[in-house]
Amino acid sequence: MQEVTEKKEFTPNIVAFCCNWCSYAGADLAGSSRLTYPANVKIIRVPCSCRVNPMFVLKAFQQGADGVILCGCHPGDCYYVTGNYYTRRRMSLLYSFLNYMGIEKERTRVEWVSAAEGARFSAVMNDFVKQVTELGENRRLTDLRVKEGE
């Protein structure tokens, strides 16, 4: 597989898993406050950041995501009290492991965004999109069969 050096006009596909109670509400607030974030961020609402099985992250990459970001309530503020503490451990290990497999660490991120942080949501997404755009297309953890014929 060739590493892509050309990056012109590359718009990454970003999947953002957002917890229903904080980050999704944060995204809502960003919208109603007319703060923008790139349209190529596809939000998947989950009941709690803890709902995100590592399989979901891999599936997102398989289906063509160039970056995956997971957002939840700030630690201590989880709607289900402790859910995001587990998420924190899980995602630390998973992302570290993906990097160990050679997957660029810039492709994955965890951010805590509360319902009141519409501005932060927008800033985080803009920053992550920028980061992944600079990195280029995901070639290392993707299913070529999915992209066939594109």
Partner 1 sequence: MLKIAKERLNELYGKIAQTQGLFIPVKKAGEVNYAIWGEGKEVSLETLKTVKSPKNMFFPQTENMMKFKTEGKNIDIIDMRDEKRPYVLFGVKACDYKAIEVLDKVFLADPVDTFYKARREATTIVTLACSRPEESCFCSVFGIDATAPAGDVTVWLDNENLYWQSNTEKGEALTAAVKELFTDGGEAEVEAQKAATKEILQKLPFAALDLSRFKPENLNELFDDPAWEELSEACLGCGTCTFVCPTCQCFDIRDFKTNDGILRYRCWDSCMYSDFTLMAHGNSRTTQMQRYRQRFMHKLVYYPSQNDGLYSCVGCGRCVNKCPQHLNIVKVIKTLGGKNDD
Partner 2 sequence: MREVELKMKERAAELLQSGEVARVIGWKKGEFYFDPTPAVFESADELDGFVYNGFCGANLSKYLIQQSKKEGKTAIFLKPCDSFSFNQLVKEHRIKREDIYVIAIECQGKLDVEKLKEKGVSAVTEVEENGGEVVVSSLYGTVTLAKDEVLLSKCETCKSKVHQVKDEEIVFNEMQAGKKDRFEMVEKLEAMTEAERFAFWKEQLSKCIRCNACRNVCPACSCIKCVFDNPASGVAAKANDSEFEEQMFHIIRAFHVAGRCTDCGECSRVCPQNIPLHLLNRKFIKDIDTLYGEYQAGETADGKTPLTSYTESDAEPNDVMNGEAK
**Residues lying near partner 1 in the complex (CB under 8 A):** 64, 145-150
Pairwise CA distance, residues 31 & 52, whole Å = 24
Instruction: Name which of partner 1, partner 2, none residue 102 binds, using a CB cut-off of 5 to 8 Å depending on partner kind.
Output: partner 2
Q: How far is the CB of 63 from partner 1 (least distance, A)?
A: 8
DSSP string over 117-142: -HHHHHHHHHHHHHHHHHH----SS-
Alpha helices in 4-150 (DSSP H): 23-32, 54-62, 83-100, 118-135, 144-147
Tokens, residue 100: 């160990």
Instruction: Name which of partner 2, partner 1, none residue 149 binds, using a CB cut-off of 5 to 8 Å depending on partner kind.
Output: partner 1
Q: Which residues of this protein are in contact with partner 2, per CB under 8 A?
A: 1, 3, 54-55, 58-59, 62, 75-76, 82, 85-86, 88-105, 108-111, 140-145
Instruction: Name which of partner 2, partner 1, none residue 97 binds, using a CB cut-off of 5 to 8 Å depending on partner kind.
Output: partner 2
